[in-house]
Chains A and B, each alone.
Chain A
Amino acid sequence: MQVFTFILRQMFNFSIPLLLVALGGMFSVRSGITNIGLEGMMVFGALVSITFLRFTQDVMSGQLQLLLAVLIATASGVVFSLLHAFASVNLKANQIISGQALNTFAPAFSIFVARILFGEQIILFKNTFVIEKVPVLGDIPVLGDILFTKAYFTTYLGIAIYFVCAFVLNKTRFGLRLRACGEYPQAPDSVGVNVYKYRYAGVMISGALSGLGGLVFVVPNSTNFNSTVAGYGFLAMAVMIFGQWTPIRIFFSSFFFGLMMTFAATYSGIPFLATLGIPSNYYKMLPYIVTIIALFFTRNSSRAPKSEGKPFEKGMR
């Protein structure tokens, strides 16, 4: 039983960043902009917010500090994503190359900043954010153990964001227009919707959620930031594709991929998996292999937006 709760608790820590970033990527792709720069945006958001944690750790701690870090991570992600939006919307540049530029820039910039500000590549910070037990809710049998003890409020935030995202994309005017811009931008353009604005919005949401995802990736799992998010941006891209760009499927695939990462990180502590003796690298590989297989089988029923990656010229036919 203890092992079971341990696995599930870990799974939440691994899945929430994947969920956030994949949802972000979804908004960008559904608006028509391919975004392979998720990894870079994660690193950038993590860098700025962890630097904030480091500088303020002597004057504040606990949930307030984490909340401020969340806001800073989100804002910095948005700012960084503007580079991608400008290149792909205004300049109609190649979106793959622009995304790759962000991926190359962010880790290098992060090491550069860390070395110059702190003299070393690794940024250490005090992790005072764990909630030992949520009052009342923590006493619920089973569920209380899994969700409401030794938890981080970012987990609840992540799940709340999922519901907001699903609602915004599917049930609001904004979401409908955003999706139209990704499918057939000429249509919204013809009725006076500003396609550029919606595509900017898509990319900026992806920046916000990726920046936040970067912080959420680092905080529950460690007390330092080493200028990398270990390929989670690309894994989130796999989650997004495996989830066919729809919120509900992304939700479930992020937990499935998160479970694989949990196995990879903790298999030696789990009796059942330890007896199997499969090395962690195979668990880490599995999500990518599964995604390739999924791509193969969904090739004809793929729900990828029709105009993904195609620049739009106003008044284009």
Chain B
Amino acid sequence: MALLEVDDLRTHFFTREGTVRAVDGVSFAVEKGKTLGIVGESGCGKSVTALSIMGLIPKPPAKIVSGSVMYEGSDLTKLSERELEDVRGREIAMIFQDPMTSLNPTLTVGTQITETIRRHYDVSQKQANKKAAELLEKVRIPRAAERLLDYPHRFSGGMRQRVMIAIALSCDPKLLIADEPTTALDVTVQASVLDLLDDLRHEYDMSMIIITHDMGVVAEAADDIIVMYAGQVVERASTLDLFDNPEHPYTEALLGALPQIEGANVRDGRLTAIPGRPPDLIDPPAACRFGPRCRYAGSDDCTKHEPQLREIRSGHWVRSAHPASERAGSRKPQEVGS
């Protein structure tokens, strides 16, 4: 059963220049105990999707204009600010990209962890401190008890992200949303943070949404993936099926544009760049939003009708008139084994 179900979510920003359709018809589900990866490039709406789930979008200018976010039977978009506060942190926690700015520099790390604990649980400061020390140990910060008294500037980037994870875990959330959790980190630090998240997810029996621009990160961390482009989900599948048989021309192009460290034609082949750039979300193309950059575009289906997200085979959804397996002369999708 799904823990979280997002249906046709639309979050628009009403600005002087016009209405920015940042999230424009996003649907997905997060299963219990699973990790969903959301990938896409800057401005595709992946972070706004996460903030909309958490009720953290700035209103105004932003507004959820339609759709629902069902979490354990209640629609989060309909909750009052007060009710949302009980969900945030306690049920759904979030960690952000930049561990340098998401901690308060004027408070000790201990204070920042215990304030979340005491907001949601009726415990004494002493009990909260004890729990905070345990949490820092869980995220593998050495000399945990002493370090509670330190200010954030005494921690490196990777260590700060661990502190953020400790705060996120402090109230045993059922869902953890990680928005580009390792983007600001060096590659070796990124690897250890991803390993940590993976361990904790099992230990705490959490579901996770991991938002990233990095195809490598979702390949390693996610069970299921949605690919976003210009505010919409363009493809949704299990991780293995998505990488084995990408259907949407954008997903295919994105994988072709990616430099790799191993495998054939690493050096000799040119990268298959995607021409142009993503559309302006104030005035996106009327029909297919990827159309102007798509090598298969051209038919009326591309320019006249807006493609809908449809299930092309069991569990694999795509929003395109020309998915790979339907194009002339295309090979049959590979069998997905495990």
Question: Is chain B a partner of chain A in the same complex?
Answer: no
